[in-house]
């Protein structure tokens, strides 16, 4: 986890850390890295829009530690 939580990103929520670790693991398992991955255009269009957020999901607390490692 020290690789993910650096001084630059020292206040990440548990859900964000889990997401970063899952992405790193998935890319490494497929033989890719984040520098080589091409983000699909439809995902790039969602950046900055409210369409990418699920406002009906009320599970924003960090009490759910089931996803850590």
Q: Which residues contact 27 (CB under 8 A, 6 or more apart)?
A: 33, 34, 37
| pTM more than 0.85 | no
Mean pLDDT of the chain, nearest integer: 72
Residues 19-52 have pLDDT tens digits of 888 888 888 888 887 777 788 898 888 877 776 6
Which of 46, 38, 2 minimizes the C-alpha distance to 20? 2
Q: How many helices (H) and strands (E) does the chain have?
A: 2, 0
Distance CA 47, CA 58 (A): 21
């Amino acid at each position: 986890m020290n690789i993910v939580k650096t001084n630059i990103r020292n206040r990440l929520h548990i859900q964000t850390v889990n997401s970063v670790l899952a992405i790193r693991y998935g890319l490494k398992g497929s033989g890719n890295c984040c520098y080589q991955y091409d983000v699909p255009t439809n995902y790039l269009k969602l950046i900055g829009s409210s369409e990418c957020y699920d406002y009906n999901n009320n599970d924003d607390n960090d009490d759910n530690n089931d996803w850590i490692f």
